[in-house]
Amino acid sequence: MAAAAEPRARAWLGGSSPRPGSPASSPELGGRGRARPGPGPGSGSGSGPERAGARTPGPAASGHSFRKVTLTKPTFCHLCSDFIWGLAGFLCDVCNFMSHEKCLKHVKTPCAGVAPSLVRVPVAHCFGLRGLYKRKFCSVCRKALEAPALRCEVCELHVHPDCVPFACSDCRQCHLDGHRDHDAHHHHWREGNLSSGARCEVCRKTCGSSDVLAGVRCEWCGLQAHSVCSAALAPECTFGRLHTMVLPPACVRLLSRNFSKMHCFRISEGSAPETGEWKAALGPGVRARGKQTLKIFDGNDALQRNHFRVITVPRLARSEEVLVREPPLRAADPGQWECRGGGQQRPWVPRGRTGGLDHPRCAPHPGSLEDLPCLAQVRPRPKAQGLPIVPCRVGVAYVSIRVTPQSTARTVVLEVLPLLGRQAEGPESFQLVEVLMGSRQVQRTVLEDEEPLLARLRDIRQTSLRQMTQTRFYVAERRVVAPRVSLYVAGLPPGLSAQEYGSLLDEAVATKAGLVSVSHVYSSQGAVVLDVACFAEAERLYMLVRDTAVHGRPLTALVLPDVLHTKLPPDSCPLLVFVNPRSGGLKGRDLLCSFRKLLNPHQVFELTNGGPLPGFHVFSQVPCFRVLVCGGDGTVGWVLAALEEMRHRLACPEPSVAILPLGTGNDLGRVLRWGAGYSGEDPLSVLVSVDEADAVLMDRWTILLDAHEAGGAENSVADVEPPKIVQMSNYCGIGIDAELSLDFHQAREEEPGKFTSRFHNKGVYVRVGLQKISHSRGLHKEIRLQVEQQEVELPSIEGLIFINIPSWGSGADLWGSDSDSRFEKPRMDDGLLEVVGVTGVMHMGQVQGGLRSGIRIAQGSYFRVTLLKATPVQVDGEPWVQAPGHMIISAAGPKAHMLRKTKQKPRKAGTPKDARADGVPVSEGDPK
C-alpha cells in the first residue's frame, strides 16, 4: 500500500513556543498533544459493541469523525466515563472514541488524525518487558489490555504489542538535546488509566474510571482532572509536591543524536520488544460467513520485507470501507485517497506491486496466511495538487503552504518566514529540518537548501504511509551544535593512570585520536569517563565496548548526561535514586519503573548496570542532593562505600541517604524507621516520606583483613592473599553467625529464582540453622580478641559479633535493654562498637525470639582479632571464609549522614479521604 499525502503543506518553527490558548499549548494537549497516529489492529467500523450508522461530523477543534452507532452491549462514554443509556452512541472512526450525544460538543481530546500535528516536542518512548496490566487500557486503540501488553518506562503510556507501531512520539522530554530549548515547562497530560478513586483538581469529582480510557494526569506533577476541566488549569507545570526532589529537564543536557532513549536512560535493551513485524496471527475459524480476509502492506518497504497486517472485511465491501479499517489510513482524511485496481461492488483486491488481480497471491479462497489476497496500492485523488510539509508554531497549531515541483528547502523557508513575522531576520538564519517521529526513536535530518521537496515527499509516501504521517518539517534557526557525548566505561584494570587507560582502550576498541579523550579517571574502580567529539564515533564506541573484554573482564558502557547545576532552582535538592532490581524479587524492577515515571529518569540508576559510581559522577557538581537506596543492607553498604570514595569529588560531600528496604533482614532500615521491608507501598508516598525525613548520623567502620597465618608459615596458601579493606555499617560476625549466612548465600547462588520471597528466605535460614544445631566448634579457642590494645578473655562461645546498630538478625536486640555499669548505652553515632557472643544456633534463635540477649563482652573503638584457622566471616550480610591472619576494626573517618523516617502522625478527625497536599493524596498516617 503506497503512501500518499494531503494537498496542503504545513511547517513548524523549531525552538519557538506557543502562545497561551493555542491548540498546541492548551492543557488538554499537554504542550505535546494527545498524540495517537491511529487505532490499533482489530479496531474499526463494525467491531466492538456497536453497528454502523449515520456519520456525524465531530468538533473541528478535536478533529474527530463521529458517526452514530447502535450499541449491542454495555458501553461507557470516554469523556464523562458515565454509562451510555439507550441504544445509540457516537463513535469516532479514527480513534474509537465513544461519546454521548450531549458530550460531543465538550470533547477536547484531539483525535488520532490531528494529534500528531499537535505534538510540540517529539520524544520517543521506551517500551519495556511485556506484562499483565489489569484494568488498564491501550492509549492507541483505547481497548482493554486483556493479554500481556507493553508500557513505557518513562511515561504512563500502555499499549498492545500490535499497537506499538502506531504509538506517537509524545513521551516526556527529560533533557535538552541541542535541537530546541523550552522557556516554560508545561503540563504533560496523559489520558486515562487513573485509579477509580481519582479526584479532579478543578471540580473535585471523580475523574478516574476502570471502564474506559478517561480523565487526564500530568506526568510531572501528578495533577488529575477531567479532560474538559484541565483547560481551566494554568499550562505551566510546577512539578507538584516533589518539585524540590525532581531534576528539572531544563537542567539536564544530553546530545543523543545517534542513541535511542533506551541508551540515554540506561534501560536494558533486553527488555525492549521486537519491532518491525506486522504479521498478525490468523487462527482457524477467523473468517466469518460473507467475509474475506486481506493482507495489508504499508508501502513498498513492507512489501519488500513481507511485513503485513491482516484485516477481515465484508466480501462486498467498498474500497472506502477497507480504507477506514486500516490504522495508517484512518489517521488520514479518507476523502484524500482512492483505491485503484478493484471494482466498487466486488471483493476489493487492488493492483499490487508484485502483480495484478490475476496474481497467484490474489486467489479468491486463500488456504493459508501466505496465500491471502494482497491489498497493494492506495493513491491520492487526481485533484490533489500539493503535499504536506508540516507545522510551524506561532500561536496556532501550524501554518500551511503548498509544495510544487519547483519547491526546495530554501523556497519553503522564504515562504514561511513572512507568515511568522520573522522575514526581517533573513532566510540564511534558518534551515529546514525533517523529523521522523518513530515510536521508539525520533530521527532528524537537516535538508540542503536546494533539496527538491516534492520528490522527497513522494519517496517517503511510497516507502510507507505510516512514515508519511509521522514525518514533519521544522523551520529551525541555524545552530552549530558542537558534538559532545560522555561515555562511562567500567570493567578496566584498577590502579592505572589516564594515559594508561587511554592506551588500553585504544588497543581494545581503536579509539580515534583527536575525537576521544579521557575526562575523568576512577582508578580504584577501574573506570573512566570519555569525552567523544563525534556522534558517529560515540555510537561506534558504545556498541563496541559492550562486546569487549579486557583481561578476561567484560566492559560496561553507559551514556551519561550533563547536569547544568547553575540552572537549578535555589530550593532544589534533587534525589539520586539507586535501585537493585535483584532485591525483593520483582519489586525492585517495578520500583525502578515507578521512580523513572515520578522523577526524571536521569536521576534513577540501576545498580546492576554499572554500580553506584555513574550516579555519583552525574551528580558530582550538584551543590545539594539526597540519595535513596532501594535494596538490602548489602546494597546500602555498597552505595555508602562508593560515596566514601567519591566524597572528595562531590560539590555536596555529605549527601543524606535514605533507605527503601528490599532485602531479607533490613536491619538498618528497621533502625531508621523505614520498616522491615517494602510491602507494596505507593512509591509516591515513599518519596514524600524521604522529603520529610530527619537527618541523623551513623558511624562507619573500616575492617582491614590481613590474611597471614599467625604461626608465620611460609608455604601457606593464605600468604598469597593481599590485604584488603571492607567497610561496615551494621555488624560484623565471626563464627556460627557467618556460617549460616554463607550457607544461605551459596544456596541462593545455586537457585536464585527460588529466593524471591522474604518469607521463603527466612525459612531457608531456619532450615540451615536446624542442620547445624548440634554442631560445636569452640570459636573461643580459635580466635584472639584485643580491644583498645588490651587482650580480652573470651567465654565459651560459637560466634562473635561486632554491632554498630541496635538491630541484628532481622530486628533482634542482641545487646539487650538491661542497664550495665560496665558499658555505655549503645548509640549508632557514639564512635563505639559493642562486642557480643552467642553460644550456638539455639542461643541465636532465643535472641531472635526475644527470650534472651547475647553475652556482652566489650565496647570500644579499636579492635584486633587474630584468626588461628580459616573461619567464616560476614560483614553486613556479605559472607566469605577468611584465611588465618588478623582483622583490624577501626573508625572510618566522617560519619555517614542518614535519613530517618519521621514518626507517623494520626490523621485528624474529619479529614476527607481524598484530601490532597499540593496535588499529592494524603495517605493513612501521613500528615495532612
Cell of 823: 558499658
| CA 535 – CA 752 distance, rounded (Å) | 40
CB crowding 371-410: b at 16 or more within 10 Å, else e = ebbbbbbbbbeeebebbbbbbbbbeebbbbbebeeebbbb
pLDDT digits 0-9 by tens, 641-698: 999 889 999 999 899 999 999 877 788 999 999 988 888 889 999 999 999 999 999 9
Cell representation of residue 390: 508540516
Length of the chain: 928
> What is the bridge-based pairing of β-strands 430-437 and 527-532?
unpaired
Write down the pLDDT at residue 770: 63
CB 856 within 8 A of CB 826: no
User: Which DSSP helix (H) or strand (E) runs through 864?
Assistant: strand 862-867
SS (H, E, C) 693-734: CEEEEECCEEEEEECCCCCCCCCCHHHHCCCEEEEECCEEEE
Spatial distance between the Cα atoms of 870 and 884, rounded to a whole number of angstroms: 5
In sequence order, which residues have a C-beta less than 8 Å from that of residue 317 and are 6 or more positions away? 292, 347, 348
Which three-class secondary structure state does DSSP give residue 196?
coil
Distance from C-alpha of 788 to C-alpha of 832, rounded to nearest angstrom: 11
**DSSP codes joined into one string, 904-918:** PPPPPTT--TT-EET
pLDDT per residue over 479-511, tens digit each?
777 788 999 999 999 989 999 998 999 888 888
Determine contact, residues 43/94, Cβ cutoff 8 Å: no
Give the three-state DSSP class for 531.
strand
Look at residue 543 and give its three-state secondary structure: helix
Phi, psi (deg, nearest 5) at residue 653: -70, -15
Residue 62 has a pLDDT of 73
772-804 residue pLDDT tens: 665 666 788 889 999 998 999 999 898 999 999
Question: Residue 192 above 60 pLDDT?
Answer: yes
| DSSP SS3 for 11 | strand
Residues with Cβ within 8 Å of 274's Cβ and at least 6 positions away in sequence, in order, are: none
pLDDT tens digits for range 718-740: 445 678 888 899 999 998 888 88
| Cα three-residue angle 843-844-847, rounded to 5 degrees | 90
Q: Which residues, in sequence order, are CB contacts of 384 under 8 Å at separation 6+? A: 4, 5, 6, 7, 336
Question: Residue 423, CB half-sphere, CA atoms under 13 Å: how many?
Answer: 8
Please tell me the distance from the alpha carbon of residue 406 to that of residue 922, in angstroms, as a whole number: 62
Q: What angle in degrees, to the nearest 10, is found between the helix axes of 683-692 and 587-598?
A: 70
Cα separation, 554 vs 826, whole angstroms: 45
Pinpoint the alpha helices (H) of 566-676.
Answer: 587-598, 613-618, 633-646, 667-671
For residues 561 and 532, is the Cβ–Cβ distance under 8 A? no
Residue 651 to residue 408: CA distance in whole angstroms = 51
Q: Alpha-carbon distance 280 to 795, whole Å?
A: 74
* pLDDT value for 396: 42
| Nearest Cα to Cα of residue 796 among 773, 810, 813, 777 | 777
Confirm if 305 and 275 have CB atoms less than 8 A apart.
no
Q: Give whole-number Cα distances, 140 to 59, 68, 155, 187, 466, in Å.
A: 20, 21, 14, 20, 14
**Better-scored residue on pLDDT, 811 or 654:** 654
Q: Give, to the nearest 10 degrees, the angle between helix 841-848 and helix 758-771.
A: 150
Q: What is the pLDDT of residues 838-890, one digit of tens each?
A: 988 888 888 888 888 889 999 999 999 999 999 999 998 888 999 999 999 99
The region of weakest confidence among 167-176, 300-309, 354-363 is 354-363
The number of beta carbons lying within 10 Å of the beta carbon of residue 744 is 21
Q: What are the φ and ψ backbone dihedral angles of 106, each rounded to 5 degrees?
A: -100, -5
What's the pLDDT score for residue 603?
A: 95
Mean per-residue pLDDT, 165-180: 82
Contact 305, 299 (CB under 8 A): no
Q: How far apart are CA 332 and CA 786, in angstroms?
A: 82
- Nearest one of 155, 152, 112 to 131, comparing CA atoms: 152
pLDDT of 43-69, one tens digit each?
Answer: 333 344 454 444 444 454 577 888 888
Q: How confident is the model at residue 34 (pLDDT cuts 50, 70, 90)?
A: very low
> How far is it, in rounded angstroms, from Cα 783 to Cα 796?
12
The confidence score (pLDDT) of residue 589 equals: 83
Distance between CA 636 and CA 876 in Å, rounded? 9
Lowest mean pLDDT, pick from 17-31, 296-310, 391-405: 17-31
SS3 per-residue string spanning 390-443: CCCCCCCCCEEECCCCCCEHHHHHHHHHHHHCCHHHCHHHEEEEEEEECCCCEE
Q: The cell 496466511 sits on which residue?
A: 369
Q: What is the CA radius of gyration of the chain?
A: 32
Q: How confident is the model at residue 16, as a pLDDT? A: 35
Give me the residue label for grid cell 536464585.
Answer: 752
Q: What's the whole-number average pLDDT of the chain?
A: 76
CA proximity to 163, closest of 80, 42, 24, 337: 42
More confident residue, 156 or 324: 156
pLDDT confidence of residue 261: 79
Total-model pTM = 0.81
Residue pair 559/263 in contact by the 8 Å Cβ criterion: yes
744 closest CA partner among 764, 730, 724: 764
* 507-530: pLDDT as tens digits: 888 888 788 999 999 998 999 999
Residue 867: CB atoms within 10 Å: 24
Higher pLDDT, 25 or 318: 318
Q: CA angle 422-428-433, nearest 5°?
A: 85
Tell me the percentage of the chain whose pLDDT exceeds 70.
72
Spatial contact of 178 and 481, defined as CB atoms under 8 Å apart: yes
Q: Which among 67, 77, 74, 75 has a CA at the least distance from the CA of 99?
A: 77
Q: Which three cell numbers stand for residue 283?
A: 487462527
Whole-number pLDDT of residue 455: 84
818-835, pLDDT tens digit by residue?
A: 888 888 888 999 999 999
Q: How far apart are CA 816 and CA 129, in angstroms?
A: 47
- List CB contacts of 12: < 8 A, sequence separation 6 or more: 390, 391, 392, 393, 398, 472, 473, 474, 475
- Average pLDDT (585-613) is 89
In terms of Cα–Cα distance, which of 685, 665, 622, 766 is closest to 252? 622
Q: Which class for 712: exposed (0-12), middle (13-18), buried (19 or more C-beta within 10 A)? A: exposed
Q: Which residues of 732-743 are buried (b: 16+ CB within 10 A; e: fewer)?
A: bbbbbbbbbbbb
Q: Is the model's pLDDT at 912 over the cut of 90? A: no
Helix axis angle for 841-848 and 736-750, nearest 10°, is 80
Q: Kindly give the pairing relationship between strand 252-253 and strand 562-563.
A: antiparallel
**Quick one: what percent of the chain has pLDDT higher than 90?**
27
